[in-house]
Amino acid sequence: MSGIEFQSHSVTHRNIGNISDSDAYFELAQSKADIESHLGKTCIIIAWPHNSYSGYSRSILSEIGYRGAAEYGSGKSENTTTIKLYAIKRIPIYRQNPPSSYVSLLGLN
């Protein structure tokens, strides 16, 4: 199957960089566990809510089992061989963006 993946965006969409270490651990670990238990598939990426994270939250990603993190609004990677897995570029797409605009938003035209 292809075309869609469900990955983590935390449990409650809080600013991870502005909460306690224990709350950050919960937000990251519980979201991953919930996705995996409900879908029966491994969750390997966190997309930082509000693009907010701390040194601590980045440092525990591999311990929790994440293999990468997406940063909001940072664009797109032009060269897949140089992607920084814990700083994956991400293009914002909002609910008001019709699917017909995706090609332009992604710079594929």
How many CB atoms neighbour CB 12 within 10 A? 12
Give the pLDDT of residue 51.
92
Query: What domains sit in the chain, N to C, each tagged with a CATH number?
Result: 16-105 (3.20.20.370)
- 3-state class (DSSP) for residue 37: helix
Cα–Cα distances in angstroms (integers) from residue 49 to residues 2, 7, 16, 103, in the given order = 25, 12, 7, 24
Confidence grade of residue 3 (pLDDT, cut at 50, 70, 90): low
Give the pLDDT of residue 1.
44
Phi, psi of 37, rounded to the nearest 5 degrees: -70, -35
% residues pLDDT > 90 (the chain): 59
| pLDDT greater at residue 29 or residue 1 | 29
User: What pLDDT digit, counting tens, does each position of 8-32 carry?
Assistant: 999 999 999 999 999 999 999 999 9
User: What pLDDT digit, counting tens, does each position of 48-95 carry?
Assistant: 999 999 999 999 999 999 999 998 877 777 777 888 898 888 887 788
In a 13 Å sphere around the CA of 22, the CA atoms on its Cβ side amount to: 0
Q: Which residues contact 69 (CB under 8 A, 6 or more apart)?
A: 45, 46, 47, 48, 53, 58, 61, 85, 86, 87, 88
Q: What value, to the nearest 5°, has the Cα angle with vertex 62 and ends 15 and 16? A: 5
